[in-house]
Amino acid sequence: MSAGFLGYVVIQIPAGLIAEAYGAKNVYLSGVLIASLARIFCPLAAWHDCYLMIAIQLLRGMGQGLHSPANSVITTKWFPKQERGFFNAIIFSGSAVGSFISYATAGAMCTSALFGGWPSVYFIHVVANALERDSYIYPSLCDDLFDILLFLDHDSSNVRASTFSGTHFALPHTNGSLGYSLGLPGMYIVGCDKVWNNICSIIAFSFAGLSLAGCLLVPSDMSPTFAGNLFAFSNTIAGTATFIFPIIVGLMTDTEFLDNK
């Protein structure tokens, strides 16, 4: 698990530099290709050798790590300053919906006979991911999207004439952090109660969504020219914990039971 996050972190700054120098679209599509190929080989690697599985997970993380800096460059160039918060929220709402569907269906796929059970999660999600990314490949879809964005910008610019101040940017991020901090300890307090565990998880991740209108827009407002690099640098620092803490948790726990001391 840590290997995937490690790959995600180490590729951030190179991805930001490449996206700004050679175009974010190519970087984004390269990330999709690398991550998809890695997912396909994950079951094969797991059957063969655990170290090969770690290497594949590292490669998958590097592929996914190309997305965030490239996305920051794309949204900075495509979306008007007044509308970045709104459209970023739409983009990441789609990501959240995809995660919800994936988690909801993964359990059923693991218990099915398709592709031997759990490998079907990787194979089916790769196909779904490829279909979802087609809008980046077909120019006609991109042209339609531009028309929609221009129409929305024309209507909304008459209503919202000013952009967020720094304080307004900080508020949603602060609220999201507080809600997330309250929800996760709640999962420990309620113990093995499935209902309350789900409620605490919903609270934590719902509040985390508030930060999408805050921290993700800061690089675009600070320096649109270097938005990819700024986002990559901040994401490298923030993402360091994602591969350190799984290792710590693995060292602290000997069993998978909640009451383990």
pLDDT per residue as tens, the chain (261 positions) = 678 888 888 898 898 888 888 888 888 888 888 888 888 888 888 888 888 888 888 998 898 888 888 888 888 888 887 777 777 777 777 777 777 777 778 777 878 777 778 788 777 777 766 665 555 444 444 554 444 444 444 333 333 333 444 444 445 555 556 666 677 777 778 777 788 887 877 777 777 666 666 666 777 777 777 878 888 888 888 778 777 877 787 777 766 555 554
pLDDT of residue 239: 79
pLDDT of residue 160: 38
pLDDT of residue 100: 76
Give me 104's structure tokens.
Answer: 């909801």
pLDDT of residue 131: 62
Question: Please, are residues 173 and 208 in contact by the beta-carbon 8 Å criterion?
Answer: no
pLDDT of residue 180: 65
What is the Cα–Cα distance from 249 to 191, expressed in whole angstroms? 17
pLDDT of residue 69: 86
What is the Cα–Cα distance from 198 to 182, expressed in whole angstroms? 14
pLDDT of residue 163: 43
pLDDT of residue 92: 73
Q: What is the DSSP letter of 164?
A: P
pLDDT of residue 83: 75
Backbone angles phi, psi at 118, to 5 degrees: -60, -30
What's the pTM value of the predicted model, to 2 decimals? 0.67
What is the Cα–Cα distance from 34 to 27, expressed in whole angstroms? 11
pLDDT of residue 122: 78
What is the Cα–Cα distance from 46 to 52, expressed in whole angstroms? 7
